[in-house]
Amino acid sequence: MFSFLGTVIVEGLHIKFPGSIVGLILLFGCLYFKLIPVSLIKDGAGFLLSVLTLFFVPATVGVMNYPELLSFHGLLLIISVVISTIFTIIISGRVGQYLENKIALKEEE
């Protein structure tokens, strides 16, 4: 629903921005201002997070169609993927720990 609404907004205002991203921003705003409860999306979000890695498989397999790209830039591509993965893991872990601590402090009050 939010993705559709984001697409309508983007097309209506003729913005060169993905409607799905606008929809995610709208969803975040509604969750942040407690216009919709988290429990409404918790089950679906949990499922999508559990299968998130499957969404990256088509992109990875698609790169295999361009062996000349891999032979020329393969090492740089591998290095950038490894470094970005490490940064993503570190940042995600830190944000998760921060939010977990913040929730624990709220529950103690």
Question: Each residue of 48-102: pLDDT tens digit?
Answer: 888 888 877 776 777 777 777 777 777 888 888 899 999 999 999 999 999 999 9
Cα–Cα distance, 84 to 82 (Å, whole number): 6
Task: Compute and round to an integer the Cα radius of gyration of the chain.
Answer: 19
Element counts in the chain: helices (H) and strands (E): 5, 0
What pLDDT, in 10s, does the model give residues 4-18? 999 999 999 999 989
Predicted structure pTM score? 0.54
pLDDT at 98: 94
pLDDT, position 108 = 81
pLDDT at 95: 94
pLDDT in tens, 16-25: 989 999 999 9
Task: Tell me the DSSP string of 47-82.
Answer: HHHHTGGGGGHHHHHHHTT-HHHHHHHHHHHHHHHH
